């Protein structure tokens, strides 16, 4: 991703944070991350995140999402016999978000995936979260989520997070973004 696009998307995410009423300090704004999952299509499949805390016991993040933006399908596998993988709770702070998990497929889901990606989005039970609603995922649960038409801000509360160990359904995905200078 080009540095200019990275910065533009980051500013759009920060604007969503302001709309949601959540405040980040200037230092926190600077540390907010943008990922395109190595797909170079961040407006469709991408994510922004600010990590407040990530210790051996807990993690808290803000995930501002642009309208229609998708966090690609993945799961948080066991990391050791003592660590069954990340358990996470998503709480919608602004807009709405469509979370997809295993279960009976939703007949008319609100979420829409990019054309040609049908083989890498495999769970279609949709849970719609509006502002103030939340949902908790068990460790190792395959899931993906998409922001509604206004975008969304999602708070994530979880056990320890090791994003580098996430397992994505799409083999083309890399979790960390490569930034090219303009």
Domain ranges of the chain: 3-168
Residue 175 pLDDT class (50, 70, 90 cuts): confident
How does strand 70-75 pair with strand 143-158? Answer: antiparallel
CA atoms lying within 13 Å on the CB side of residue 65: 34
Mean pLDDT of 11-24: 96
34 bridge partner residues:
48
Q: With 90 as the cut, is the pLDDT of residue 182 above it? A: no
- CATH fold of 3-168 reads Jelly Rolls (2.60.120)
Query: Chain-wide mean pLDDT for the chain?
Result: 96
What predicted TM-score, i.e. pTM, was given to this entire model? 0.95
| Distance of alpha carbon 145 from alpha carbon 127, whole angstroms | 9
Looking at residue 163, its pLDDT comes to: 87
Percent of the chain topping pLDDT 70: 100
Q: Which burial class, exposed, middle or buried, applies to 18 when counting CB atoms under 10 A from its CB (0-12, 13-18, 19+)?
A: middle
For position 5, what pLDDT does the model report?
A: 95
């Amino acid at each position: 991703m080009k540095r200019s696009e990275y910065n533009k998307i980051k500013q759009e995410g920060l604007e969503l944070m302001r709309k949601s009423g959540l405040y980040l300090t200037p230092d926190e704004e600077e540390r907010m991350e943008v990922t395109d999952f190595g797909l170079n299509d961040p407006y469709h499949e991408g994510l922004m995140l600010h990590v407040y805390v990530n210790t051996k016991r807990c993690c808290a993040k803000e995930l501002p999402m642009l309208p229609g933006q998708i966090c690609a399908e993945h799961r948080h596998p066991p990391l050791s016999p003592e660590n069954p993988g990340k358990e996470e709770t998503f709480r919608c702070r602004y807009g709405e978000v469509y979370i997809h998990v295993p279960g009976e497929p939703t007949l008319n889901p609100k979420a829409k995936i990019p054309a040609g990606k049908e083989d890498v989005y495999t769970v279609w039970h949709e849970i719609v979260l509006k502002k103030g609603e939340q949902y908790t995922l068990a460790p190792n649960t395959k899931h993906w989520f998409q922001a509604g038409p206004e975008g969304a801000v999602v708070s994530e509360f979880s056990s320890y997070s090791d994003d580098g160990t996430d397992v994505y359904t799409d083999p083309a995905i890399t979790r960390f973004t490569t930034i090219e200078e303009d």
